[in-house]
């Protein structure tokens, strides 16, 4: 699935109802490390279609950023449907991003 730009909070609920895994990318247009993450997230999205990448512009959606306790950008939040699974701040390589997400997913599968 292509990367989704979040426009409304309701959209997030709709996505959570339709997809098991959501990766929220809290970013801003003026943030240089956020720009570095763009190609990484594009690659991740292509390689991992089961995880929907959702971009959240903190300048436009500061209420959502506050809800997730975002204090630095870029910040990545992994959700399973509407359940919080993990959060990381800072840019990552594709390998580090994939390893982080797979580690969180593995913990969930061990609990099931």
pLDDT of residue 112: 59
Peptide bond into 50 cis (omega under 30): no
DSSP for residue 93: -
User: pLDDT 10s per residue in the chain (112 long)?
Assistant: 689 999 888 888 899 999 999 999 999 999 999 999 999 999 999 999 999 999 999 999 999 999 999 999 999 999 998 899 999 999 999 999 999 999 999 887 777 5
The CATH number linked to 101 is 3.40.30.10
Chain-centre distance for alpha carbon 5 = 11
pLDDT at 91 (0 to 100): 94
Query: In the block, which residue shows the tokens 């699974």?
Result: 85
Question: How far, in Å, CA of 109 to CA of 112, rounded?
Answer: 5
| Distance between CA atoms of residues 18 and 34, nearest Å | 27
Domain limits for position 63: 4-111
The pLDDT score that the predictor gives to residue 59 is 95
Q: Which residues are catalytic?
A: 31, 34
pLDDT of residue 65: 92
Counting the structural domains of the chain, the total is: 1
| pLDDT recorded at residue 107 | 85
CA distance 89 to 83: 19
């Amino acid at each position: 699935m292509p990367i989704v730009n979040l426009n409304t909070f309701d959209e997030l609920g709709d996505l959570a109802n339709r997809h098991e895994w959501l990766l929220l990318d809290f970013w801003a247009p003026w943030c240089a490390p956020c720009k570095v993450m763009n190609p990484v997230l594009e690659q991740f999205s292509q390689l991992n279609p089961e995880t929907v990448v959702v971009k959240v512009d903190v300048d436009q959606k500061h209420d959502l950023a506050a809800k997730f306790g975002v204090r630095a950008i870029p910040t990545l939040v992994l959700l399973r449907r509407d359940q919080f699974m993990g959060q990381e701040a800072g840019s990552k390589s594709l390998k580090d991003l994939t390893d982080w997400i797979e580690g969180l997913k593995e913990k969930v599968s061990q609990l099931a």
